[in-house]
Amino acid sequence: MKKFFAVVLVAMMSIGAFAQHEIGAVVGGLNGLSYKYWVNNNIALQADLAVGLTAAPTGAYYRGTDMIGGTFQWNHFDFMLNPSLLYHYDVASGLKLYSGVGVGIGLMQDGTFYDYVIGKFIANANVGIAYEIPSAPVVLALDFRPGYGLGFYNANSAHFSMFDWKLGFAVRYRL
């Protein structure tokens, strides 16, 4: 185990002189932890591990794998990992616009039928604005993540497609 941690430490130190990390929290459509790794001045990898709500079919009736009835409501509690690849554009000192793509994987709990656990896969865009406070290593970010994906019910192997979107506000500390 000591060797494993030594290898991880050496790998982290050898990432490069530019490597910067941000860690913090995101609230809104997703509520949880937020991490950003800067590859260079413009490209970053961001990952959010969070909980939230998703619109998905409730009261649905299935024939095979096709939903033949039901409505979409915001009552599915979800737990999701959402990594994104982002490109940042400098607008002014400390202010950046960004856009990119990401995926979301996770689980949803049906708010109406609590015996259903639903797997979820989303492909999403990510657009937003970030501001680094000049007097402190704190970054404030606001982003919008529209996406389209699939949900899978475990009860009868049914699946459904969904449009999903998240609006999030993040506060991260730059290391």
Residue range 40-99, pLDDT digits in tens: 989 999 999 998 766 555 555 444 444 444 555 555 677 889 999 999 999 998 899 999
Q: Say how many C-beta atoms besides its own lie within 10 A of residue 42's C-beta.
A: 13
Give pTM, 2 decimals. Answer: 0.75
The DSSP annotation for 99-135 comes to EEEEEEEEEEEESS-TT-EEEEEEEEEEEEEEEE-TT
pLDDT at residue 1, as a whole number? 63
pLDDT at residue 61, as a whole number? 46
Mean per-residue pLDDT over the chain, rounded: 78
pLDDT at residue 141, as a whole number? 97
pLDDT at residue 44, as a whole number? 95
Residue 120 has pLDDT above 90, yes or no: no
32 Cβ contact list (under 8 Å, min separation 6): 25, 26, 48, 49, 50, 51
Residue 29 has pLDDT above 60, yes or no: yes
Domain boundaries, the chain: 19-174
Looking at domain 19-174, its CATH class is mainly beta
Residue 10 has pLDDT above 70, yes or no: no
- How many whole angstroms separate alpha carbon 57 and alpha carbon 69? 9
Residue 6 has pLDDT above 70, yes or no: no
pLDDT at residue 115, as a whole number? 53
